[in-house]
Amino acid sequence: MITILTCLVSCNAWSQQGNLSGVRRSAFDLGFSFMSVRDEALNRIIHKGPGLHVDWYLELPGRGGISIIELGVGSGFLKSDFEEEISSFRFSGSAGFTYLWPLCINDQSPHFYLGGKVNARTAIEYFDNWDESHFYWTTAYTTGAGFRIEYTIRGNSMIRIEADIPLFSMVSRPPDRFLYTQSSPALKDILKDVNYDLSLLLPREYREFDMRVKYAVKNRKRIMPEIFWRLHYMSIHKDGSARMKYLLQSIGVEFDI
């Protein structure tokens, strides 16, 4: 928050060109990630591994601000240092809506936007074993703050930082000592599981931070493919549920479509 305020105060001190957030655009990200997960639904050892994620965005500028619709899917292939082979597969999906208001209304860079975001996110991990293979999950319906900073450098290139921090969340996790049995692979059973015991968590129980730093080169009004770095952290400590920590970093490319 201090960082944001500092940026706001110094907003007018930076003088660059116009922003790009006033343009309707649709884009998708392709990211190569490396994640580490400690999920007590499996055990307490940290599992690490590579993954992929694809996200689609639709950005709609309006009179007062920008609406952003986003959909994303991801995967991960995880193993611990004690294992020779991949022990769990992670599949994730998310859908979100963000509304951002510009904080600096002049045309000078950097441009700041602040708003809110509602998001639905679920990650299903599958422990693949010869017996008692089972799913475990993290589902979160969140609402919180979102912000964006755009900073134009050297006239035709731009750095954009986007981040969101959920403040209120409804979360489903497996119980702490769940009687895992062979999970049913039927979709209806999986959907039932991933919404098990949804409950409201306090910010100290659910911590999430998702940030993207993007670098783009402008070509007239069209944006060339951007490269980005993403940091996504999540920590859940819900009474009676298996605790979980997750950290993902990825690098990738964003294409306009």
Residue numbers at the binding site for another protein (CB under 8 A):
34-38, 42-46, 48, 79-80, 82-85, 87, 127, 129-134, 176-177, 179-182, 185, 229, 245-249, 251
Instruction: Quote the least distance from Cβ 79 to another protein, whole Å.
Output: 8
Shortest Cβ distance from residue 144 to another protein (Å)? 22
- In this complex, which beta carbon is closest to another protein, that of residue 45 or of residue 190? 45
Query: Could you give the CA distance from residue 128 to residue 227 in angstroms, rounded to a whole number?
Result: 34
Classify each residue of 212-224 as buried b or exposed e, where b means 16 or more C-beta atoms within 10 Å of its C-beta.
Answer: bebebebeeeebe
Question: Residue 131 or residue 154: which is nearer to another protein going by CB?
Answer: 131
The least CB distance from residue 119 to another protein, in Å, is 22
CB of 148 to another protein, least distance (A): 23
Determine the Cα–Cα distance for residues 131 and 90; give it in Å rounded to an integer. Answer: 19
Question: Closest separation between CB of residue 255 and another protein, Å?
Answer: 21
Question: Token digits for 101?
Answer: 């208001």
When the beta carbons of 16 and 183 are compared against another protein, the nearer one is 183
Query: Of 57 and 136, which CB lies nearer to another protein in the complex structure?
Result: 136
Name the nearest CA neighbour of 20 among 165, 164, 214, 163: 214
Distance of alpha carbon 139 from alpha carbon 135, whole angstroms? 13
> Which CB sits closer to another protein, 109 or 138?
138
Residue 235 burial by CB count (10 A; 0-12/13-18/19+): exposed, middle or buried?
middle
